[in-house]
């Protein structure tokens, strides 16, 4: 068991995340695209990829892509200073996120918002993106999921929006490439003072605009209510990921959620991209299948192709306060988080 910032990946795990053939790892090393470290596992020294090795790999690829260099031919390899062309690199995984500011949302509680936000930001960080996670729920579950246990002593978005604390001072590092604005119980008291502030719904996006150029991705976890704080995040966001558990009550609440989003769009003259993420799906349950079918029929444009299955691995990751990759890299939950992350980042 390891906290996210101390994670090491096996070559097979790296290959699965980078979508490269495992046999290509040596040539990626020779080409200087990937560095590995030797780690003792039991009595054996094994080649491993640290979190930072993984991030550097993705960053190097992103740089070559940004410069319009195709590494899979000889000219591109020479231009990038590589000894050999790399035919196996999966450039699809190194695009920039389509929407830089995202939120996980549902006025209904317990649908899996905090769990999926935490897994999404950790997975995006693994791909070398500079990520800021924001906890907008006084329960502080995103904060705990990211293994921050001293949030009661730290500033939160309350201090930024109500006490005019510079937003930089509310940001803390969690892991290389991953920062957090944590939450604690004090944030539960924000609604009345925020309501009394001028330009209340704009305060969060104005604060975020001061630091947004430092990040490739900003992702908020929200509280389960139609609150002003959530409204502020809807004003700041480009993509809203509505997490819907595949049970009848969650489905019933979807019309209210979509109506709330539409109302915000009209009031603040914004156009939001919305994705509905079906969560806790169990294909052995007829009710799960029915709800998924109804979700897809009623919101055909919005439902993600990825369905997150109900899995003990996600509960275990919550308990251990780490990524699901650390629980079981070959499990269904790791595959689901993989495909969800890629879908929400690149909207493919």
Ligand X SMILES: Nc1ncnc2c1ncn2[C@@H]1O[C@H](COP(=O)(O)OP(=O)(O)OP(=O)(O)O)[C@@H](O)[C@H]1O
| Site for Mg ion, rule CB under 5 A | 113-114, 141
DSSP state of 9: E
Q: Which of Mg ion, ligand X, none has residue 112 at its interface (CB below 5 to 8 Å by kind)?
A: ligand X
Nearest to 161 by CA among 140, 136, 180: 136
Give whichever of 82 and 280 is closer to ligand X, judged by the CB atom.
Answer: 280
Min dist. Cβ of residue 220 to Mg ion (A) = 11
**∠33-325-338 over CA atoms, to 5°?**
75
Rounded CA separation 299/179 (Å): 33
Give whichever of 29 and 343 is closer to ligand X, judged by the CB atom.
Answer: 343
Give whichever of 55 and 222 is closer to ligand X, judged by the CB atom.
Answer: 222
Min dist. Cβ of residue 18 to ligand X (A) = 25
Give whichever of 182 and 224 is closer to ligand X, judged by the CB atom.
Answer: 224
**Binding stretches for ligand X (CB under 6 A):** 109-115, 137, 139, 141, 224, 279-280, 308, 310-311, 314-315, 318
DSSP state of 276: E
> Under a CB-based contact definition with an 8 Å cutoff, are residues 275 and 301 in contact?
no
Residue 217: partners with Cβ closer than 8 Å, 6 or more residues away: 97, 100, 102, 121, 124, 129, 130, 131, 132, 345
251-280 burial, b if ≥16 CB within 10 A, otherwise e? bebbeebbebbeebbeeeeeebebbbbbbb
Tokens representing residue 87 in the block:
């035919």
Give whichever of 51 and 157 is closer to Mg ion, judged by the CB atom.
Answer: 157
Give whichever of 62 and 141 is closer to Mg ion, judged by the CB atom.
Answer: 141
Residue 43: partners with Cβ closer than 8 Å, 6 or more residues away: none
Positive/negative CA dihedral, 63, 68, 69, 72:
positive
Q: Which of Mg ion, ligand X, none has residue 99 at its interface (CB below 5 to 8 Å by kind)?
A: none
Min dist. Cβ of residue 309 to ligand X (A) = 6
Min dist. Cβ of residue 311 to ligand X (A) = 5
Min dist. Cβ of residue 77 to ligand X (A) = 42
Nearest to 128 by CA among 345, 348, 277, 305: 345
Positive/negative CA dihedral, 136, 141, 146, 149:
positive
Q: Which of ligand X, Mg ion, none has residue 341 at its interface (CB below 5 to 8 Å by kind)?
A: none
Q: Which of Mg ion, ligand X, none has residue 203 at its interface (CB below 5 to 8 Å by kind)?
A: none
Min dist. Cβ of residue 330 to ligand X (A) = 17
Min dist. Cβ of residue 333 to ligand X (A) = 7
What residue number has its CB nearest to Mg ion? 114
Tokens representing residue 325 in the block:
């990759």
Q: Which of ligand X, Mg ion, none has residue 315 at its interface (CB below 5 to 8 Å by kind)?
A: ligand X
Give whichever of 109 and 166 is closer to Mg ion, judged by the CB atom.
Answer: 109
């Amino acid at each position: 068991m390891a906290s996210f910032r101390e994670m090491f990946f096996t070559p097979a795990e790296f290959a699965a995340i980078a979508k490269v053939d495992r046999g290509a790892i040596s040539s990626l090393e020779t080409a200087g695209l990937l560095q590995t470290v030797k780690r003792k596992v039991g009595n054996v020294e094994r080649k491993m990829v640290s979190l930072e090795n993984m991030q550097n790999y993705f960053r190097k690829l992103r740089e070559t892509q940004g410069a319009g260099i195709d590494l899979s031919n000889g000219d591109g390899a020479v231009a990038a200073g590589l000894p050999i062309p790399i035919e196996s690199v999966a450039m699809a995984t190194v695009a920039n996120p389509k929407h830089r500011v995202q939120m996980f949302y549902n006025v209904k509680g317990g649908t899996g918002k905090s769990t999926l936000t935490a897994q999404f930001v950790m997975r995006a960080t693994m791909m070398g993106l500079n990520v800021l996670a924001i906890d907008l729920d006084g329960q502080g579950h995103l904060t705990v999921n990211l293994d921050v246990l001293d949030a009661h002593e730290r500033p939160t978005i309350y201090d930024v929006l109500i006490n005019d604390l510079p937003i930089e001072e509310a940001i803390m590092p969690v892991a290389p490439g991953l920062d957090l604005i944590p939450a604690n119980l004090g944030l539960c008291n924000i609604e009345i003072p925020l309501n009394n502030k001028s330009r209340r719904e704009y305060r969060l996006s104005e604060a975020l605009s001061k630091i947004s150029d430092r990040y490739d991705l900003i992702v908020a976890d929200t509280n389960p209510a139609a609150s002003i704080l959530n409204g502020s995040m809807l004003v700041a966001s480009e993509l809203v990921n509505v997490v819907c558990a595949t049970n009848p009550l969650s489905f019933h609440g979807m019309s209210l959620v979509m109506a709330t989003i539409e109302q915000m769009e009209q009031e603040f003259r914004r156009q939001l991209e919305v994705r509905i993420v079906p969560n806790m799906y169990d294909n052995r349950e007829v009710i799960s299948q029915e709800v998924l079918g109804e979700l897809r029929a009623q919101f055909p444009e919005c439902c993600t192709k990825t369905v997150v299955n109900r899995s003990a691995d996600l509960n275990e990751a919550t308990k251990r306060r780490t990524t699901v990759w650390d629980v079981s890299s070959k499990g269904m939950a790791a595959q689901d988080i993989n495909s969800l992350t890629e879908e929400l980042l690149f909207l493919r």
